[in-house]
Amino acid sequence: MPRKKRRTFSTSQKEQAVKICLRSSKSIAQVARDLDLPENSLRNWVRQAKIDEGGPSEDGPLTSEEREELKRLRRENRDLQMERDFLKKAGGLLRQGELVAAKAYEVIEAEKANFPIKIMCKTLGVSRSGYYAWLKREPSQRAKANEELSAAIVEIFDDSRGTYGSPRVTEELEAQGFEVDRKRVARLMAKMGLSADLKPKYRAVDTEPTAELAANVLDRQFDVDEPDRVWVSDITYIWTAAGWLYLAVVIDLYSRRVVGWAMADHMRAELVLEALEVALGSRKPSDAGLLFHSDQGAQYKATRVRETLDAEGITCSMSRRGNCWDNAVAEAFFATLKREHVYRTIFLTQDEAMISIAEWIGIFYNGQRRHSTIGYCSPVEYERNYYAELTASQAA
């Protein structure tokens, strides 16, 4: 059955129908039937006409003229927002000085799924006809060579687990037979957002009241006989093209399960509190008590963290100063995370990293990955076996 065409009405049709309706003693429904008009449409036209007769007003419904003005302003605002968002992405290109049309076209091509071509051309000062003409041209030999070189660079960078800068990448390229200088490699790496800057720049942590250091109650006693008896926690950093991301985890020592985690672009005490709250939201401390162990980081010494632990009846334990072995389980987890997942991936945004890491922890590490310390079971399976045995022994 052919689809019925949607009816449209001119301004004069609407005005005439409204006038007939207002002058008639008939109901709107009857007038609509008589004029073969949609009843709801006619009701809307009549309502708008009455608003228009009242003139502009600061309160109440908008007149037709005001509605048209609002549409225009919204359209302009939408275009301005898109221009602003596009400028953020193209800012590096614009800061290079004189804009080369070919570079502008490359940016437009890369972002055409996110922004209208018309707006991008206007923002970068190039014509749409020029862009479409550029699309039909064959890539230059230099462009083809750069494409091949870029692919090789990405492969080398990935193989190095993101640790090679342009000097080492250049050496590896030359070993593979490429004739290339380091400046060109550095330029292509920068264009693709590849950086071997593995050490995060120093970020000042907001100072806040801190509590006294806790004793090292755990004392490297990593073998625990029941879940939720000892939790260990630590913070690490993850590189993304959009900046450093910080991850805090809480790990149950019995099963090695990550029972709580949080990620943010800062490493303030809130990061630890969020990870702790996630753990407490899904776990119940053992009847024998719960020990929470960490290093002596400012976040863990924060009064708010200690108050939260005290309120939950959790005993606080801290590693000796500068001794990473006192928190070896958390350190080992971060090493596994980075070796098996982070170093195999280039995260363009922090949101992308958050989703990917959360999936790796929640689905793979906790639920699937076999852990040598717990008899090559996954943490979830190990806990399931514990509670099955506990239930069986209580029923006996």
Cβ(229)–Cβ(253) under 8 Å? yes
Dihedral angle of Cα 210, 316, 324, 233, to the nearest 10 degrees: -90
Q: What percentage of the chain has pLDDT greater than the value 70?
A: 86
The band of 54, judged by pLDDT with boundaries at 50, 70 and 90, is low
Strand pairing report for 258-264 and 245-252: antiparallel
Looking at the fold, whether 116 and 180 belong to one and the same domain comes out as no
Domain span at 294: 230-391
- Band (pLDDT 50/70/90 cuts) for residue 113 is confident
What pLDDT is recorded for position 95? 47
In the predicted model, what is the mean pLDDT of the chain?
A: 82
Q: In this structure, are 295 and 381 located in the same domain?
A: yes
**Domain assignment of residue 198, yes or no:** no
> Are 280 and 379 contained in the same domain?
yes
Tell whether 241 and 132 lie within a shared domain. Answer: no
Question: pLDDT per residue over 241-288, tens digit each?
Answer: 888 999 999 999 999 999 999 999 998 999 999 999 989 988 889 889
The pLDDT score that the predictor gives to residue 276 is 93
Domain boundary among 93, 119, 136: 136
Looking at the structure of the chain, the number of domains it has is: 3
d(C-alpha 145, C-alpha 158), whole Å: 20
Residue 318: CATH number of its domain: 3.30.420.10
Does residue 10 form part of some domain? no
* Residues above pLDDT 90, as percent of the chain: 26
Indicate the residue among 101, 117, 136 that finishes a domain.
136
Distance between CA atoms of 377 and 373, rounded to whole angstroms?
9
Pairing of strands 314-318, 290-294: parallel
Q: Are residues 266 and 366 in the same domain?
A: yes
113 and 159 assigned to the same domain: no
Q: Which of 38-47, 67-76, 380-389 has the highest mean pLDDT?
A: 380-389
Looking at the structure, tell me whether residues 324 and 378 fall in a common domain: yes
- DSSP letter at 361 equals I
pLDDT at 62 over 70: no
Q: Do 360 and 249 belong to one domain?
A: yes
**pLDDT confidence of residue 193:** 73
For the residues 311-328, what does the mean pLDDT come to? 85
Q: State yes or no: pLDDT of 148 exceeds 90.
A: no
13 domain-assigned: no
143-147, 225-229, 258-262: the lowest-pLDDT one = 143-147
Task: Answer yes or no: do 150 and 128 share one domain.
Answer: no
Of the segments 71-85, 204-218, 244-258, 340-354, which one has the largest average pLDDT value?
244-258
Write down the pLDDT at residue 249: 96
Joined tokens for residue 58: 């600061």
Q: Per the domain annotation, does 25 fall within a domain? A: no
Q: Which among 13, 22, 11 has a CA at the least distance from the CA of 46?
A: 22
Domain end point (choices 136, 153, 171): 136
Looking at the fold, whether 183 and 92 belong to one and the same domain comes out as no
pLDDT reading at 130 higher than 60: yes
Region 104-119: mean pLDDT is: 79
pTM of the predicted protein model:
0.51
pLDDT grade for 37, boundaries at 50, 70 and 90: confident
Assigned domain for 44 exists: no
Q: Is 379 helix (H, G, I), strand (E, B) or coil?
A: helix
Q: Which of 1-10, 112-121, 207-216, 286-295 has the lowest mean pLDDT?
A: 1-10
pLDDT of residue 209: 65
Strands (DSSP E) contained in the chain are 230-238, 245-252, 258-264, 290-294, 314-318
The top-scoring range by mean pLDDT among 30-34, 159-163, 187-191, 336-340 is 336-340
Q: What angle do CA 77, 82, 88 make, to 5 degrees?
A: 130
Is residue 160 a part of any domain in this protein? yes
For residue 61, name the pLDDT band (cuts at 50, 70, 90): low
The answer to whether residue 211 scores a pLDDT higher than 60 is yes
Does residue 152 share a domain with residue 249?
A: no
| 198 pLDDT more than 80 | no
Q: Is the pLDDT of residue 57 over 60?
A: no
Residues 253 and 118 in one domain: no
Instruction: Tell me the one-letter amino acid at 256.
Output: R
User: Is 276 within a domain?
Assistant: yes
Residues 6+ apart with CB under 8 A from 379: 252, 255, 256, 257, 258, 365, 366, 367, 371
319 pLDDT band, cuts 50/70/90, is confident
Q: Tell whether 209 is covered by a domain.
A: no
Q: What's the rounded mean pLDDT across residues 103-122?
A: 79
Confidence (pLDDT) at 25: 77
Binning pLDDT at 50, 70 and 90, where does residue 58 land?
Answer: very low
